[in-house]
Amino acid sequence: MSSSNFIRKLSGEKTPIWFLKLLGNIWFPYLGAGITVDEVTPDYLYIKVSMKMRWYNKNYVGTHFGGSLYAMTDPFYMLMLMNNLGRGYIVWDKAASIDFKKPGQGKVTAEFKMTSDEIADIKAKADASGKYIFDKTVNI
């Protein structure tokens, strides 16, 4: 594939799955934290990421560093929406919070799920008011 076709492909409606996984797995903040993008469905309605416990992502008491856990959740709902809403919409992470239930140890995973109905609802609400802000939860 020539570079001009590659650029057109990337500027199309959806980012190729292989490219998102590659970028997610070599992007320095994720690489440095040991975070991997394990699965992305072609419809961008499901993404799974994981992080193994390593010496470099442990905190002082030997559990997963909270910043790495937080980083593991940061861009994925935004990416899912960007790839499902298309070019006519600006998607931005406005805020996030974390509620630690118990220490993260071993391999941890996060699954990001949306439905076609949720996407349609978000689109309708954004179209109606010009902007829509919502909360979505992910468990690690």
pLDDT tens digits along 78-120:
999 999 998 888 898 888 888 888 888 999 999 999 999 999 9
What pLDDT score does 22 carry?
86
What pLDDT score does 15 carry?
82
Strand (E) or helix (H) holding 39? strand 35-40
Strand (E) or helix (H) holding 31? helix 28-33
Position with higher pLDDT, 40 vs 6: 40
Q: Is the pLDDT of residue 7 over 70?
A: no
Chain mean pLDDT for the chain: 86
What pLDDT score does 13 carry?
64
Q: How far apart are CA 6 and CA 83, in angstroms?
A: 17
Position with higher pLDDT, 35 vs 5: 35
Sign of CA dihedral 127, 132, 135, 140: positive
* pTM for this predicted structure: 0.84
Q: How far apart are CA 139 and CA 137, in angstroms?
A: 7
What pLDDT score does 2 carry?
32
